[in-house]
């Protein structure tokens, strides 16, 4: 009888205490760990970090920091403790399917993602945001847009004003801009958003153009959308051509000397960029191959039907009349130079991969995005800044998170190797802390195995 009642008693205790309360009451001590604070490029060896109530209570040399008697000790000898990462172009399943949403959010968390900017919001995402904040599910902190503002959903400028006001009242964190808006509708959205102090970001509608987007200080531009149109060589026959897939159709006649001026305009506007390079490069370069895609470790967390759809979409893109491998390579080459130029010119970059989307499995794809930022010329430290300290700065929450320091949220990743030495060392965390909730490797592996089993069905 006791064996049957015990699980019920445990469940009742959890309901009474509540997951958030239980997490707040716990104390943790990371001992003898090397801290990667991310306030600047440095390491702090042999540190002890005390976490209590979801915050970093103390940090300092292990010889000086006393470990509280009630603390759960997490040995850190030979390991590295860094801030959690942000996925700044995340997607949460749009349909109110609790299991699908929880699986996606777990995949993010399992890979060290402690903050997710949801780029296509829906009403049930507000409930998920609340559950994530309370610790009711294993999830990054959620920052969500409302439903898309696009050429179909916004019929008139008055529609745009009304929808912005509705999304503000509903409690969404920001607005998602999609293609299809003309200048009057876009301007109405921008003016209302500024008046209500509601950030707006995403795409650059073709009829609006990047210059106007920067003039009105759109909060973010995602995918480097609109930039290729301003890089077309003066006098080119492509100057009035349709840009195609994020400007791919213009890649045959681009002038890299224009990058410096566009960077200056971006920095002046205060607009941040989320390049999502992993999405674009994998789609256009034809790599990885089909065999490599199917062999990836993380592909088991996606249904076979989804993988087939990804491969079919890429094949369709690469059979378009203006596609050629040479143009694809040139397109990616210029994008990489633009990323490096934006970084070096002081225009803000934010880490995001657009997952789950073509070939991008949530969480796993963010590490591929980091690798691609390094391929574009950033150091490992500079790439990691785009997903840590830059995000806090973007949100105006530098006192709250983004670095490992006393008083900040305990959003942390424990690693077996130094991420500043090689960006790939940030993969496969030994454990992740989500606002003081500890997710050890064994729990990560167990959760991943359950998701893999569901993906096969």
Query: Residue 279: which of 302, 310, 258 has the closest Cα?
Result: 310
Q: Is 254 a domain residue? A: yes
- Overall size of the chain counted in residues: 457
pLDDT at 24: 55
What is residue 286's predicted lDDT score, i.e. its pLDDT? Answer: 85
Note whether residue 126 is domain-resident.
yes
| Per-residue confidence (pLDDT) for residue 354, from 0 to 100 | 97
Tell me the residue range of the domain where 341 lies.
Answer: 85-395
Give the model's pLDDT for residue 128.
97
**Nearest C-alpha neighbor of 142 from the set 102, 169, 111, 178:** 102
Taken in order 343, 346, 350, 353, the sign of the CA dihedral is negative
Q: Minimal CA–CA distance to 299: which of 102, 452, 424?
A: 452
DSSP symbols for 69-129: TTEEEEE-TT-EEEEPEEEEEE---SS--HHHHHHHHHHHHHTTEEEEEESS--HHHHHHH
Q: What is the CATH number of the domain that holds 245?
A: 3.20.20.140
Is residue 33 included in any domain, yes or no? no
State residue 23's pLDDT score.
54
Total number of domains constituting the chain: 1
Structure confidence at residue 4 (pLDDT): 40
Per-residue pLDDT of the chain (457 residues; tens, 9 = 90+): 333 433 333 333 333 334 444 555 699 999 999 999 999 999 999 999 999 999 999 999 999 999 999 999 999 999 999 999 999 999 999 999 999 999 999 999 999 999 999 999 999 999 999 999 999 999 999 999 999 999 999 999 999 999 999 999 999 999 999 999 999 999 999 999 999 999 999 999 999 999 999 999 999 999 999 999 999 999 999 988 899 999 999 999 999 999 999 999 999 999 999 999 999 999 999 889 999 999 999 999 999 999 999 999 999 999 988 899 999 999 999 999 999 999 999 999 999 999 999 999 999 999 999 999 999 999 999 999 999 999 999 999 999 999 999 999 999 999 999 999 999 999 999 999 999 999 999 999 999 999 999 998 8
Q: Say which residues have a Cβ less than 8 Å from residue 353's Cβ, sequence separation at least 6.
A: 87, 89, 276, 278, 279, 360, 365, 366, 368, 369
Q: Cα–Cα distance between 231 and 210 in angstroms, integer?
A: 11
Judge contact between 286 and 325, C-beta under 8 A: yes
The whole-angstrom separation of Cα 43 and Cα 412 is 15
Say how many Å lie between the first and final Cα of the chain, rounded: 35
Q: Which two tokens stand for residue 191?
A: 């003016």
Distance of CA 183 to the CA centre of its chain: 29
Query: Does 55 map to a domain?
Result: no
Q: Report the pLDDT value the prediction gives residue 457, as an integer from 0 to 100.
A: 82
Using the structure block, give the residue that is written with the tokens 């296509």.
Answer: 120
User: What is the sign, positive or negative, of the torsion defined by CA atoms of 150, 315, 351, 447?
Assistant: positive
pLDDT of residue 15: 36
Q: Residue 245 domain-assigned?
A: yes
Q: Is residue 70 part of a domain?
A: no
Asked if residue 322 is part of any domain, the answer here is yes
DSSP 268-319: HHT-EEE--HHHHHHHHH--S-HHHHHH-GGGGGS-HHHHHHHHHHHHHHTT
pLDDT at 321: 86
Whole-number Å distance between alpha carbons of 34 and 112: 17
Residue 327: how many other CB atoms lie within 10 Å? 16
120 is a domain residue: yes
């Amino acid at each position: 009888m006791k064996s049957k009642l015990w699980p019920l008693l445990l469940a009742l205790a959890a309901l009474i205490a509540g997951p958030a309360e239980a997490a707040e009451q716990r104390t943790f001590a990371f001992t003898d760990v090397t801290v990667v604070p991310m306030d600047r490029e440095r390491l702090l060896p042999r540190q002890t970090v005390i976490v209590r109530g979801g915050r970093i209570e103390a940090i300092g040399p292990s010889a000086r920091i006393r470990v509280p008697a009630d603390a759960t000790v997490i040995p850190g000898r030979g390991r590295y403790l860094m801030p959690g990462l942000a996925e700044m172009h995340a997607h949460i399943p749009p349909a109110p399917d609790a299991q699908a949403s929880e699986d996606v959010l777990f995949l993010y968390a399992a890979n060290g993602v402690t903050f997710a900017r949801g780029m296509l919001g829906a009403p049930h995402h507000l409930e998920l945001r609340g559950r994530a904040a309370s610790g009711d599910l294993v999830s990054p902190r959620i920052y969500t847009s409302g439903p898309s503002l696009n050429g179909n959903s916004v019929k008139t400028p008055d529609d745009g004003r009304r929808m912005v006001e509705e999304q503000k009242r509903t409690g969404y964190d920001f607005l998602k801009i999609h293609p299809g808006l003309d200048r009057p509708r876009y301007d109405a959205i921008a003016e209302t958003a500024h008046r209500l102090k509601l950030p707006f970001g995403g795409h650059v509608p073709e009829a609006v153009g990047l210059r106007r987007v920067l003039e009105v200080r759109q909060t973010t531009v995602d995918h480097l959308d609109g930039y290729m149109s301003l890089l077309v060589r003066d006098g080119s026959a492509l100057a009035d051509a349709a840009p195609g897939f994020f400007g791919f159709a213009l890649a045959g006649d681009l002038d890299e000397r224009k990058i410096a001026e566009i960077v200056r305009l971006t920095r002046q506007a205060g607009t941040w960029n989320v390049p999502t390079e992993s999405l674009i490069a994998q789609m256009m370069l034809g790599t990885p191959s089909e065999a490599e895609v199917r062999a990836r470790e993380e592909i088991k967390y996606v249904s076979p039907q989804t993988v087939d759809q990804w491969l079919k979409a890429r094949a369709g893109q690469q059979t378009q009349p203006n596609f050629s491998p040479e143009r694809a390579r040139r397109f990616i080459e210029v994008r990489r130079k633009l990323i490096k130029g934006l970084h070096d010119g002081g225009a803000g970059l934010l880490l995001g991969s657009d997952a789950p989307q073509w070939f991008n499995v949530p969480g796993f794809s963010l590490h591929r995005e980091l690798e691609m930022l390094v391929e574009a010329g950033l150091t490992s430290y500079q790439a990691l800044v785009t997903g840590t300290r830059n995000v806090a700065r973007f949100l105006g929450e530098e006192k709250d998170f983004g670095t490992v320091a006393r008083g900040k949220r305990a959003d942390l990743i424990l690693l077996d190797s130094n991420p500043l030495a090689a960006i790939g060392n940030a993969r496969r965390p030994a454990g992740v802390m989500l606002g003081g909730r500890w997710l050890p490797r064994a729990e990560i592996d167990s959760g991943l195995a359950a998701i893999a089993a569901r993906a096969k069905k």
